[in-house]
Structure 1
Amino acid sequence: MRFHAALVALLLMSGWLVQPAVAANSPPPAAPSTTSGLIGHRALYTLTLATAKSTDVVAARGTMGYEVTDACDGWAVRQRLRMTVTNADGQDIEMASDYTTWESKDGLRFRYHMRQTTDTAVTSQTDGEASLHRTGGTGEAHYTTPHETTIPLPAGTLFPMAHTAAIIAAAREKKHFLSVPLFDGTDENGAEDSFIVILDWKPPMQTKWPALSALPSTRVHLSFFDRKPGSVTPTYEVTMRYWENGVADDMKMDFGDFVMDAKMKEFAPQPRRC
């Protein structure tokens, strides 16, 4: 799960100064052989302001919908985020993003569309498709929006569902860190470096969701970096709990000037769509 799009223009991160060179110099992990442990599901999250770290932000609230469809040969994903941020002048700023993708289950093909708006004006849009080579792990991303271009993808790149599966596999193996390039189509400059701190691997616990209560889970902290020399500040950070089947909840999203809590208020597994 990737929560990047809607407020990317506001991201002024500080405080998690992991050098991206550490991630870039680590040997790229092998792509996970399968994402079969993940499930199709629909979830709705309520967003509330946890911390305002700037006097420019007085209040913030929103909702986020996330839907994963098991389309047999691939995963279809849609993420919709709506947020209202109130500034010090009392002005409400309405921000929204609509992000849809399709990713093949072998992790080699990917299509994406992302559209961001601020007060109904389109502030960012990306469209295109990407592919990875079965050997070597490199690939290409072909953008049709915002302009026609093809960008190479570095060795070890993963697409979002494969990225989720790799995190869960590393947590299950009791690893503490994972670094890997991620391409999700939200950045017109290609792949980003991701650095993941794996905080635990917990046995099943009782929750309000019966489909999750029988599963182990892991709490992780993800940081994302531009693949530029000297970049030491993350473009985005999020802490969340991943259940073994790829469902995420209990999120804390740090946007620099403020931090939002995202609590899952609705959840339902979805059948395969063959």
Structure 2
Amino acid sequence: MMHSRRTDASPFAAHILTIAAAVALVGAGTPQAVAQGGLPAIAPHRAVYDLELESSQDRLGLADASGRLALEFAAADCEGWTVNMRIVNRLRTRNGTSRTIDSRSSSWESADGASMAFTLRRYVENTVDEETKGFAERGGDGKPGHVAMEKPAEDAFDIPAGAVFPVEHTKRILKAALDGERREVSLVYDGSEEKTVYKAITFIGERRAPGETRLPAGLGEELKSMASWPVSISYFDETKTADGEETPSHQVSFTMFENAVASNLTLDYGDFSLSGTLSTLEFPDAPECPAQ
């Protein structure tokens, strides 16, 4: 864990990498989704979300927060998915001080969800403040998975049996929505906080018919023919409790379309929350992958 290394970057900065990882859960899929799981094809895409401060507790002294989250999901030659993310936030306190935090991450996850490579780097005022790099594999036959870290220091540790990576988690959520289910529970490892594995509890709302979800003018024409669902995910670090009860570390709410593109984001970290408005959406060409 690297919590102690983050405190000098303000309490808000401690969540930036986790924000990026959380949004990644709603934007990926598998190049062979149709062949492997009977799911609709999930589109590679590039999306940009404009971020604004929605609410914050007075004790934080936060006057404003604004920024941008850019995501790119690309099919990696039918072998898996690469996910590139960058989130830039400028935080301004009530006493007039400000700080710019720029977090970037890149990951690759195999199409079968068995392995994931990840790199995360955070800059504070253009200076590298934190770097994480590692490789994770799921365990088979009910066995624990394994993670090998390169940065911030070489390390190796196990993750619980049954833990999945972000792409596989997305597939589970989408399948649950298509099957008319309202709840999905998974253990998720994304590498954003080294050894932390989250229990992710997802609630899925009523299906919305194509055209019912409001989108910014001139944006998302491809989405107007697709159904969508309101989705809310709560992430629990089970090593942390309050008064003997589980309290979510953070929550993410969004509208999920049939191709797994997300809109109308709310990123809630308890002491503050951000809203994300989809401002740019592009669909690059995807490779034609053979059925397996």
- Report the TM-score range of the alignment, normalised by the length of the smaller protein: 0.7 to 0.9
Count how many residue pairs are aligned between Structure 1 and Structure 2. 250
Question: Where does residue 125 of structure 2 map in the other structure?
Answer: 119
Q: Which of 59, 64, 68 in structure 2 is aligned with 1:59?
A: 64
Measured in 1, the distance between the counterparts of 2:191 and 2:95 equals: 34
Measured in 2, the distance between the counterparts of 1:34 and 1:160 equals: 19
Q: Which of 135, 154, 162 in structure 2 is aligned with 1:156?
A: 162
Q: CA, structure 1 residues 244+89, in 2 after alignment: closer, same or farther (shift >3 Å)? A: same
Shift of 1:83: 0.3
Question: Where does residue 90 of structure 2 map in the other structure?
Answer: 84
Structure 2 residue 278 is matched with structure 1 residue 264? yes
Higher share of residues assigned helix: 2
Q: Which of 262, 267, 280 in structure 2 is aligned with 1:253?
A: 267
- Whether the 8 Å contact between 1:137 and 1:157 is mirrored in structure 2 is no
Is the partner of 1:98 in helix, strand or coil?
A: strand
One-letter amino acid of the counterpart of residue 247, structure 1: V
- Whether the 8 Å contact between 1:35 and 1:161 is mirrored in structure 2 is no
Measured in 1, the distance between the counterparts of 2:264 and 2:274 equals: 11
Is the partner of 1:171 in helix, strand or coil?
A: helix
Shift of 1:36: 6.6
- Whether the 8 Å contact between 2:118 and 2:135 is mirrored in structure 1 is yes
Where does structure 2 lack aligned partners over 5 or more consecutive residues? 1-5, 17-35
Percent identical pairs in the alignment equals 26
Query: Comparing both chains, which one has the higher relative contact order based on Cα–Cα distances under 8 Å and sequence gaps of 6 or more?
Result: 1
With structure 1 as the length reference, what TM-score do the two structures score?
Answer: 0.83
With structure 2 as the length reference, what TM-score do the two structures score?
Answer: 0.78
My pick for the range that moved more, 242-251 or 231-240, is: 231-240
Shift of 1:124: 2.8
Q: Which runs of 4+ in 1 moved over 6 A?
A: none
Structure 2 residue 234 is matched with structure 1 residue 223? yes
Shift of 1:10: 5.1
Shift of 1:34: 7.1
Shift of 1:136: 2.4
Q: Which of 250, 255, 261 in structure 2 is aligned with 1:241?
A: 255
- Whether the 8 Å contact between 1:57 and 1:257 is mirrored in structure 2 is no
One-letter amino acid of the counterpart of residue 39, structure 1: A
Shift of 1:68: 0.2
My pick for the range that moved more, 200-209 or 175-184, is: 200-209
Measured in 2, the distance between the counterparts of 1:137 and 1:107 equals: 15
Q: CA, structure 1 residues 35+57, in 2 after alignment: closer, same or farther (shift >3 Å)? A: farther
- Whether the 8 Å contact between 1:168 and 1:218 is mirrored in structure 2 is no
- Whether the 8 Å contact between 1:35 and 1:162 is mirrored in structure 2 is no
* Superposed CA RMSD: 2.4
